[in-house]
Amino acid sequence: MERTLIIVKPDAVQRGLIGEIVARFERRGLKIVGLKMLQIDEPLARRHYAVHEGKPFFDGLIRYITSAPVVVMVLEGKQAIAVARNTMGSTRPAEAAPGTIRADFGVEVGRNLVHGSDGPETAAYEIDLYFKPGELLTWDRSADPWIME
């Protein structure tokens, strides 16, 4: 099973979309193994977005992600990263496929509602940023045989 980190970003929290976004991932068949609400501080934001340091949009990204609470969650499932990214849609909401989170609720790339890890190594790094050992659960979900072969 693969795990991925999802962040329900400040714009989605402020707009009251937490439940809708979480529900979409659950309806896709991904299992929540960790979930919490927090306020990202600047040091954590800088570690999370370190790959973008020095880019023109970096400072604005840090201000944005630290501007209001977020919800972070770890999802688990077969091909969880790809499934989650397809559920979110293109980074640019105007280019996202209809029915995705970003197409249904977003307009601008700077307010695209949700973050998802882009690969296994990134997912491992990001999960470790937000969850301590022991905070992630391993559990059997009775619906799994009806979701996965």
Q: Give 43-97 pLDDT, tens digit per residue.
A: 999 999 999 999 999 999 999 999 999 999 999 999 999 999 999 999 999 999 9
**pLDDT for the residue 149:** 87
- Report residue 133 as tokens: 């050992």
Residue 52 is a catalytic residue: no
Residues in the chain: 149
CB-side exposure of 73: number of CA atoms within 13 Å? 21
Question: End-to-end distance of the chain based on CA atoms, in angstroms?
Answer: 12
3-class secondary structure, 18: helix
Tell me the whole-structure pTM to 2 decimals.
Answer: 0.95
- Domains in the chain: boundaries: 2-40+69-147
Residues 6-49 pLDDT 10s = 999 999 999 999 999 999 999 999 999 999 999 999 999 999 99
Q: Which of 3, 31, 102, 115 is catalytic?
A: 115
CATH number for the segment(s) 2-40+69-147: 3.30.70.141
